[in-house]
Amino acid sequence: MSINRKPIVVGNWKMNLSLSEATGLAYELSEQLEDIAGVDIDVGIAPSTPFLSIIAAICDESAIGISAQHMSAHLSGAHTGESSVQQLLDVGCQYVILGHSERRHVYGESDEQIAQCARLAHDLGLIPILCVGETLQQREANQTLDVVLKQVSSAFSQLTADEASRSICAYEPVWAIGTGHTASPEQAQEVHAAIRKHLSELYSVAIADSVRLQYGGSVKPENAEGLMSQPDIDGALVGGASLKVNSFNSIVQITSKLISQT
């Protein structure tokens, strides 16, 4: 983690939690993270779409940012089941997760769609969290960097340098998501460093140095310190461990403490 980049930890709740569980978790997090969220570290939560507005209202007084998990690649119109970027802004979102592996692999989202969403998000003022990552098969075939850097090129392809620097990129190896198998700090750092170098070639060293890169995939309090202390890892995108107040709080505290020691 670098002193020049403010760390960011986001909890991706996916399609979990009842309304009462989600609101309870949001109340507890707003209380427990009151002193550090937004100060040393940016903290976000990504509830399911139907709960966005109520969770945003609960977190309104806190510095916890609200993220959507998905958005439409279209501005408005006949797109049943989708949410537009303006609708997400209207209910209080600051971030949107784009190209999560579950969206790519289960719902067939293409690189082009993700690039289009990133373009629209910046047009209207939502910060995209651009997810990239290889499958186990691709890792075993030594294709990790080819796959990940191609996804990065495409996700950033319609963004100016200034927009790129305000974007967040999350490296989430597919084989580490929800499996309990985390990438080792060295494996994660290798890919993060390659992403940053690639961004320096697409834009400039200064822009690449300003983009915050998150790691995601079975992040827990027990492995957070090793991962978050790597020089090119600036935070985490947390799935399962973000559903429990104590584990998410610990990950945020560990990440924030590391930056204050840098």
- Which residues are at the interface with ligand 13P (CB under 6 A)? 12, 100, 172, 177-178, 216-219, 237-241
Q: How many Cα atoms within 13 Å fall on the side-chain side of residue 175?
A: 13
Beta carbon of residue 10, minimum distance to ligand 13P (angstroms, whole number): 8
For the record, the structure tokens of 149 come out as 């850097």
Q: Which of 100, 122, 192, 198 is catalytic?
A: 100
Amino acid at 228: M
Which residue's CB is nearer to ligand 13P, number 36 or number 98? 98
Which residue's CB is nearer to ligand 13P, number 36 or number 237? 237
Which residue's CB is nearer to ligand 13P, number 126 or number 207? 126
Beta carbon of residue 80, minimum distance to ligand 13P (angstroms, whole number): 25
What DSSP designation does 48 have?
-
Q: Which of 134, 172, 192, 198 is catalytic?
A: 172
What is the CA 38 to chain-centroid distance, rounded? 16
Which residue's CB is nearer to ligand 13P, number 57 or number 245? 245
Identify the sign of the CA torsion 198, 154, 202, 132. negative
Q: Are 41 and 21 in contact (CB under 8 A)?
A: no
Nearest residue to ligand 13P, scored by beta-carbon proximity: 239
Beta carbon of residue 238, minimum distance to ligand 13P (angstroms, whole number): 5
Identify the sign of the CA torsion 218, 222, 225, 226. negative
Which residue's CB is nearer to ligand 13P, number 73 or number 133? 133
Beta carbon of residue 239, minimum distance to ligand 13P (angstroms, whole number): 2
Question: If we measure between CA atoms, which residue out of 212, 237, 230 comes closest to residue 133?
Answer: 237
Bridge partners (DSSP) listed for residue 44: 10, 65
Is 21 in the active site? no
For the record, the structure tokens of 226 come out as 């090793």
Is 74 in the active site? no
In the chain, % helix, strand, coil (3-state, to 5) comes to 50, 15, 35
Beta carbon of residue 14, minimum distance to ligand 13P (angstroms, whole number): 7
Catalytic site positions = 100, 172
